[in-house]
Amino acid sequence: MGRSRPAGAATSPARERRRSSRPQHLRELKRDGVVRRMVHAEVPPRVDYILTPAGQGLRPALEALLSWGVEHVRLKESGKEGVA
């Protein structure tokens, strides 16, 4: 995300799909009361999404998924995937 890309460099189709679906996912999360959209009166325009109390309630589950993912990647990189 923090890397710059040479002008005209192609992006992967998977990356483009993720980028194009992000606004739809954010709209769904807003509709479901998980996030709140904050529009700042700035130039250029800036929008932030903040977890609502309902979204905060998801934190334990999301943190558990993050821990699992980090461990899964670590095991995969060490060649021990599926051993645990």
Report the pLDDT value the prediction gives residue 45, as an integer from 0 to 100. Answer: 92
Domains (ranges, CATH) in the chain?
A: 14-78 (1.10.10.10)
| pLDDT at position 16 | 78
Q: Structure pTM? A: 0.59
Q: Read off the pLDDT band of 1 (50, 70, 90).
A: very low
Which of 25, 24, 26, 1 has its CA nearest to residue 11? Answer: 1
